[in-house]
Amino acid sequence: MKFKAIIPARYASTRFPGKPLAELGGKSVIQRVYEQVIKVFDDVYVATDDERIEQAVKSFGGNLVMTSATHQSGTERCYEACVKTGGGVDTVVVNVQGDEPFVQPSQLEELTKCFYNASTQIATLVTPFPVDSGFDGLVNVNSPKVVFDKDRYALYFSRSVIPFQRNVDKTVWAENHTYYKHIGLYAYRFDVLKEIVCLPLSPLERAESLEQLRWIENGYKIKVGITSVETIGIDTPEDLELAERFISRFT
């Protein structure tokens, strides 16, 4: 078994066009992601369809693979990149989003541990919601919630609060039960990735706008790794400002 990390990066973005090339503490966001991932994996590629990102990655000496502009998801881009860079049946493909400059080695290592179990098909990470986040934190639709079984296989992902606590005041839900927030890091065995990129949009995915529900609806099992680390992703210009303030404390 060998690990190959792919960092899908698009220039086009509704909320923040060009964010992989945005400067963060003197380096581009995509360079910071790459430098974090290379701390854990030897085989790392940025996958893009944009020549501006291509030039940026080449300028800092990173590995890059050009992919189709027609992909509907980072998952599809990861599969094409893996095929083009020599992935095979013994490969586990790690998908690290190109807007996660603070992804931590410990998170990536936790993700890889899921594959010590030979039956793991797909893996992802979750982190406990802080108790002090209260009900307002739980109802944030941009923080998908996850429930999983005793063997840590995901049962469901939702933008709604799951589980619902009957006969418990909502103001104490976060204190009364450990809720888990999904962190969008994934890894897949190559043969599973090859299959899931061919699946059509599913009803639950359409309802929640969460791609991983497509896999669950089609019978694939997602192993859940738990991390205490939560990082800052760059989805908007406001996120970049927050990240700049964060990084300035360490430089």
pLDDT digits (tens, 9 = 90+) for 222-250: 999 999 998 888 888 999 998 998 887 75
Residue 245 included in any domain: no
122 part of a folded domain: yes
> In this predicted structure, what is the pLDDT of residue 231?
85
Indicate if 134 and 162 belong to the same structural domain. yes
Is the per-residue pLDDT at 19 higher than 90?
yes
112 part of a folded domain: yes
Give the chain's mean pLDDT. 95
User: Do 108 and 20 fall into the same domain?
Assistant: no
Report yes or no on 235 lying in a domain: no
What proportion of the chain, given as a percentage, has pLDDT over 90? 91
Q: Is the pLDDT of residue 156 over 60?
A: yes
Same domain, 90 and 108: no
What's the confidence (pLDDT) of residue 251? Answer: 55
- State whether 94 and 159 are in the same domain: no
Residues 54 and 152 both lie in one domain: no
- Same domain (yes/no): 57, 172: no
Residue span of the structural domain in which 177 resides? 104-230
Q: Which of 99, 116, 137 finishes a domain? A: 99
Q: Do the domain assignments include residue 194? A: yes
Domain of 117, CATH number, reads: 3.90.550.10
Predicted confidence at residue 15, as pLDDT, reads 81
Predicted confidence (pLDDT) per residue in 181-207, tens digit:
999 999 999 999 999 999 999 999 999
For residue 93, pLDDT beyond 60: yes
217 and 112 in a common domain: yes
User: For the purposes of burial, counting CB atoms within 10 Å of the CB of 153, is it exposed (0-12), middle (13-18) or buried (19 or more)?
Assistant: middle
Cβ-Cβ contacts under 8 Å for 236 (sequence gap 6 or more): 15, 16
Q: Are residues 142 and 125 in the same domain?
A: yes
Residue 238 inside a domain? The answer is no
Q: Does residue 134 have a pLDDT over 70?
A: yes
Asked whether residue 248 is domain-assigned, the answer is no
**Which residues, in sequence order, are CB contacts of 177 under 8 Å at separation 6+?**
163, 165
Question: What is the structure's pLDDT at 13?
Answer: 81
**Residue 246 covered by a domain:** no
Q: At what angle do helices 29-37 and 51-59 cross, to 10 degrees?
A: 60
66-78 mean pLDDT = 96
CA distances from 102 to 33, 108, 139, 158, 195 (A): 7, 12, 25, 25, 30
pLDDT > 70: what percent of the chain?
A: 99
Total domains in the chain come to 2
* pLDDT value of residue 60: 98
Please indicate, yes or no, whether residues 2 and 50 belong to a single structural domain of this protein: yes
pLDDT at residue 235, as a whole number: 86
Asked whether the whole model's pTM tops 0.75, one would answer yes
The reported pLDDT for the residue numbered 250 is 59
pLDDT at 246: 84
Does 121 lie in the same domain as 51? no
Provide the terminal-to-terminal Cα distance of the chain, rounded to the nearest Å: 38
Task: Give the number of other Cβ atoms within 10 Å of residue 66's Cβ.
Answer: 16
Residue that finishes a domain, picked among 64, 84, 99: 99
- Judge if 221 and 208 occupy the same domain: yes
Residues 43 and 87 in one domain: yes
